[in-house]
């Protein structure tokens, strides 16, 4: 079974631009979560989508948004990029069997650099 | 609210020595706990998890962890370190709210293995 895939793997943008990151979960998984990883703040939860609905949201500004499609693929968007948005963005998927204890499987991440 | 503290941001051991990475958690409900490993430029790989039942949990690559409720700890151990174990390790607790759930991570411990 293929794992979680994320595209692109690396991205360089300039301040003020916007960016869209993509995540394909493990086949059959309907929950997709996004995390931001930075050296200073560590791993922080952004949001979770299940069946095309956001059901959990972390403490990030409205510039960070996401969506999920009917095939469970998810995208996250960051508008008006700031230097501090430079980070590794990780996507994780979760199956129904593991949902009761929240076991999540992570993709390789998208490394975003904002110049 | 749940939280995780990893004692020691950096641990160095010699090849063949015992690996001990410390994790303490705070949770108002019975916790579900995880250890993940991250190799450079990669995502997070699940090493092991504690949900219910046996408090000594065995994972991949020879790692194991023991859940101690009285000490609110979930330390990760491996009897004999290999060079390939050099990576960053994250302890996480599950926060199951609002039907979904997020993982709350510790700050990570970087493990170095000396030849």
Write the pLDDT tens digit of every residue in A54-94.
988 999 999 999 999 999 999 999 999 999 999 999 999 99
B98 in A contact zone (CB under 8 Å): yes
Which B residues in the span 15-34 are in contact with A, Cβ-Cβ below 8 Å?
32, 34
Pairing state of beta strands B87-95 and B102-105?
antiparallel
Q: Is A27 a residue whose pLDDT tops 90? A: yes
Per-residue pLDDT, B99: 53
The rounded distance, in Å, linking the Cα atoms of A23 and A68 is 9
Confidence of residue B100 (pLDDT cuts 50, 70, 90): low
Q: Is A2 a residue whose pLDDT tops 90? A: no
Per-residue pLDDT, B44: 96
The rounded distance, in Å, linking the Cα atoms of B14 and B92 is 26
Per-residue pLDDT, B54: 86
Q: Is B59 a residue whose pLDDT tops 80? A: yes
Per-residue pLDDT, A96: 78
For residues A95-104, give the mean pLDDT.
76
The rounded distance, in Å, linking the Cα atoms of A3 and B55 is 28
B45 in A contact zone (CB under 8 Å): yes
Confidence of residue A97 (pLDDT cuts 50, 70, 90): confident
CB-based contact B44 A90, cutoff 8 Å: yes
Per-residue pLDDT, B97: 58
The minimal CB distance from A55 to the residues B34, B49, B98 is found for B98
List the single range of A30-44, A64-78, A87-101, B1-15 with lowest mean pLDDT. Answer: A87-101
Degrees to nearest 5, angle at CA A56 with A55 and A62: 110
Q: Is B46 a residue whose pLDDT tops 70? A: yes
Name the minimum distance, in Å, from the CA of A82 to any CA of chain B. Answer: 22
Sheet strands (E) in chain B: 3-7, 10-14, 19-26, 33-38, 44-50, 56-58, 64-68, 73-78, 87-95, 102-105, 109-114
**In which element (H, E) is residue A24 found?**
strand A19-24
For residues A93-109, give the mean pLDDT.
84
Torsion sign over Cα B97, A59, B1, B104: positive
The rounded distance, in Å, linking the Cα atoms of B38 and B20 is 17
CB-based contact A101 B41, cutoff 8 Å: no
For residues A24-28, give the mean pLDDT.
95
B107 in A contact zone (CB under 8 Å): yes
Question: Of B107, B52, B3, nearest to A103 (Cα)?
Answer: B52
Tokens 């979960």: give the residue. A25
B5 in A contact zone (CB under 8 Å): no
How many beta-carbon pairs under 8 angstroms link A with B? 68
Per-residue pLDDT, A99: 66
Six-digit token string for A44: 């922080």
Counting residues of chain A whose pLDDT is more than 90, the rounded percentage is: 86
Confidence of residue B77 (pLDDT cuts 50, 70, 90): very high
Confidence of residue B37 (pLDDT cuts 50, 70, 90): very high
Pairing state of beta strands B44-50 and B33-38?
antiparallel
Per-residue pLDDT, A16: 97
């Amino acid at each position: 079974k293929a794992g979680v895939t994320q595209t692109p793997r690396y991205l360089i943008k300039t301040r003020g631009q916007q960016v869209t990151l993509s995540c394909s979960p493990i086949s059959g998984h309907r929950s997709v979560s996004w995390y931001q990883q930075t050296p200073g703040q560590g791993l922080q939860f952004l949001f979770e989508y299940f069946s095309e609905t956001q059901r959990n949201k972390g403490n990030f500004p409205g510039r960070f948004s996401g969506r999920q499609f009917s095939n469970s693929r998810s995208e996250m968007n960051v508008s008006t990029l700031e230097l501090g948005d430079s980070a590794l963005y990780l996507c994780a998927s979760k199956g129904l069997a593991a949902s009761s204890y929240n076991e999540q499987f992570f993709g390789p991440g998208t490394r975003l650099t904002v110049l | 609210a749940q939280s995780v503290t990893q004692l020691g941001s950096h641990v160095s051991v010699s090849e063949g020595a015992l690996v001990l990475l410390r994790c303490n958690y705070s949770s108002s409900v019975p916790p579900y706990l995880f250890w993940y490993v991250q190799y450079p430029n990669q995502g997070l790989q699940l090493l092991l998890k504690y949900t219910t039942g046996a408090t000594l949990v065995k994972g991949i690559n020879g790692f194991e962890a023991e859940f101690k409720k009285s000490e609110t700890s979930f330390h990760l151990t491996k009897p004999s370190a290999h060079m390939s174990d050099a990576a960053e390790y994250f302890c996480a607790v599950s926060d199951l709210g609002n039907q979904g759930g997020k993982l709350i991570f510790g700050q990570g411990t970087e493990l170095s293995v000396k030849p």
